[in-house]
């Protein structure tokens, strides 16, 4: 185990140091819920930047829901792990059904979170996209794809910890990247890099979203 961060808040403060050039600029931070919310809140406070969120979720493998074969955003932006799909042999109909189910949950979360923290217009803005870590990288790739459709000036993808394979994919998709650590560990788990870690619920993150900073 390679423990690097005490908790998500510390990870946010640490990653803010890598983003010091954006402090008090017109950049905005977008978090990928749920885990990215406390990281983004801490980083935004340190950098004195406005922050919001963009919801994406993995597309679960039917026989193993903990695994994903891609991810989707609220606007339907979707990225797929084609190599995995070849092995899974899912039909287009099956993929479409799973994608629509996940998109419905993404829409629900987006609407619920927007009630307490309105969405931010990213047109012509420098966007810092932040999560608590990436293993496969597909949720972040879906977020980047979705943000691109909104006409940002640039996208900087930022995470405290990433697998080597995910980092390589994200670097090809974002304009710039900032990773506190890129790990060659296989198998890879984001949780292994935190002392305090638990899966977050809406009840955990809604109070953070409510805070204006």
Cβ partners under 8 Å of residue 180, min gap 6:
4, 11, 14, 15, 18, 159, 160, 161
Residue 108 in any domain: the answer is: no
- Residue 66 in domain: no
Q: Which residues, in sequence order, are CB contacts of 76 under 8 Å at separation 6+? A: 103
In what helix (H) or strand (E) does residue 50 lie, and over which residues does it extend? none
Residue 65 falls inside a structural domain: no
Domain with 32, as residue range(s), is: 8-56+118-210
Exposed, middle or buried by CB within 10 Å (0-12, 13-18, 19+), for 21? exposed
Overall domain count for the chain: 1
The CATH number of residue 158's host domain is 3.40.50.2020
Per-residue pLDDT of the chain (213 residues; tens, 9 = 90+): 566 899 999 999 999 999 999 999 999 999 999 999 999 999 999 999 999 999 999 999 999 988 899 999 999 999 999 999 988 989 999 999 999 999 999 999 999 999 999 999 999 999 999 999 999 999 999 999 999 999 999 999 999 999 999 999 999 999 999 999 999 887 889 999 999 999 999 999 999 999 875
Whether 51 is in a domain gets the answer: yes
């Amino acid at each position: 185990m390679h423990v690097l961060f005490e908790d998500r808040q510390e990870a946010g403060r640490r990653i803010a140091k890598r983003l010091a050039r954006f402090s008090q600029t017109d950049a905005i931070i977008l978090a990928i819920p749920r885990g990215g919310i406390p990281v983004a809140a801490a980083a935004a406070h340190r950098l004195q930047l406005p922050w919001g969120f963009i919801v994406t979720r993995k597309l679960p493998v039917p026989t193993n829901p903990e695994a994903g074969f891609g991810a989707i955003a609220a606007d339907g932006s979707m990225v797929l792990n084609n190599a995995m799909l070849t092995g899974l042999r899912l039909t287009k109909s099956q993929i479409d059904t799973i994608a629509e189910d996940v998109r419905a949950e993404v829409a629900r979360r987006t609407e619920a979170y927007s009630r307490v923290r309105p969405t931010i217009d990213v047109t012509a803005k420098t966007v810092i996209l932040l999560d608590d870590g990436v293993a496969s990288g597909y949720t972040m790739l879906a977020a980047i794809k979705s943000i691109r459709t909104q006409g940002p000036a640039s996208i900087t993808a930022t995470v405290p910890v990433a697998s080597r394979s995910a980092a390589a994919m994200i670097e090809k998709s974002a304009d710039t990247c900032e990773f506190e650590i890129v790990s060659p560990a296989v198998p890879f788990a984001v949780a292994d890099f935190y002392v305090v870690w638990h899966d977050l619920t809406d009840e955990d993150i809604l109070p953070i979203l409510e805070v204006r900073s």
